Chain A
Amino acid sequence: NAGVTQTPKFRILKIGQSMTLQCTQDMNHNYMYWYRQDPGMGLKLIYYSVGAGITDKGEVPNGYNVSRSTTEDFPLRLELAAPSQTSVYFCASSFILPNRGPSYGYTFGSGTRLTVV
C-alpha cells in the first residue's frame, strides 16, 4: 500500500546542474501534480497531468519540465538549477471523474527537499 512515492528525499545541487525528481503512484489515479513549498508558505502548483501523455502548466512552471508516459509515473525535470529553486517539492495524485471532482481528495508523497548552492 505504497500510495505516492517520491525519490530522492534530499538533494543538493550546484547552480547550473540538472536533475529529475521521481514520482510514482500505485492507486491508478488519473491526475498527478507537482507542487513546491517554500518555508512558511503554502503549496504552489508547478505542473499537472490529467492522464498519460497530457500535461499542463500550473502557477509557477518556469525552469521545470514534466512528462507522463505512464499512468503511474510523473517525473519533474529541473534544467539549469538556480538558487530560487531551493524548496520542498511534493508530488500528488487524485482520481477525478469528468464533472464530478476528486473521489477521495488528493494523496501527497513525503516530499523531496532540494537545495541549490
Chain B
Amino acid sequence: QKEVEQDPGPLSVPEGAIVSLNCTYSNSAFQYFMWYRQYSRKGPELLMYTYSSGNKEDGRFTAQVDKSSKYISLFIRDSQPSDSATYLCAMIRGNMLTFGGGTRLMVKP
C-alpha cells in the first residue's frame, strides 16, 4: 500500500464547475500538507500549503485537511480551462516530502 493515495483520473468537468480533488494517507506522522499544480512538461508549482486540520482559502482554491480521517482535499471554484493540469498532493514527515501520484484535470470550455 502506498503511503499517499490519489485517484489518477482523468477528471473532466465543464467550465464553471466546482472541482474536488482528494488524497488519503496512511501515516499519521505526516504534519504538513501541500497541493501542487503541474502543467504538461513543466515543474510542479505550489498552490496551497497548510499544517493544521481545517480549511484554508486562497482565491478560487480551498484546501481542506482532516487529520483524524487522514484525508485532504483541494476544491476549485468556478473552474477555468486554464486550470487543466495535473494536481499533486504532497505531505511531509521529518525531512521527506512524499507525493501522491497526481490527478489529471480537464476543464472543458
A53 within 8 A of B: no
The stretch among B13-21, B38-46, B72-80 that forms the contact with chain A is B38-46
Contacts of A31 in B (CB 8 A): 95
Q: Which of B36, B49, B95, B101 has the most CB of A within 10 A?
A: B95
Report B32-65 residues with CB < 8 Å from chain A CB.
32, 34, 36, 41-46, 49, 51
With an 8 A cutoff between CB atoms, is B99 at the interface? yes
A109 to B100, CA, bound (A): 19
A115 to B36, CA, bound (A): 25
Interface size (B, Cβ < 8 Å)?
A: 26
A 93-117 binary contact with B (CB < 8 Å = 1; else 0): 0001000011011111111010000
| C-alpha gap A44/B98 in the complex (Å) | 8
Q: How far apart sit A43 and B100, CA to CA, in the bound complex (Å)?
A: 8
Question: Contact: A107 with B46, CB < 8 Å?
Answer: yes
Question: Chain A, 28-68, contact with B by CB distance < 8 Å: what is the 0/1 string?
Answer: 00010101000011111100101000001010000000000
A-B contact pairs, 28 of them (CB 8 A): A4-B43, A41-B101, A42-B4, A42-B6, A42-B99, A42-B100, A42-B101, A42-B102, A43-B88, A45-B96, A45-B97, A45-B98, A48-B95, A48-B96, A50-B95, A56-B95, A90-B43, A92-B97, A96-B95, A101-B51, A101-B92, A102-B32, A102-B49, A105-B49, A106-B46, A106-B97, A108-B36, A110-B43
Interface residues of B (CB under 8 A from A): 4, 6, 8, 31-32, 34, 36, 41-46, 49, 51, 88, 90, 92, 95-102
Chain A interfacial positions (CB closer than 8 Å to B): 4, 31, 33, 35, 40-45, 48, 50, 56, 58, 90, 92, 96, 101-102, 104-111, 113
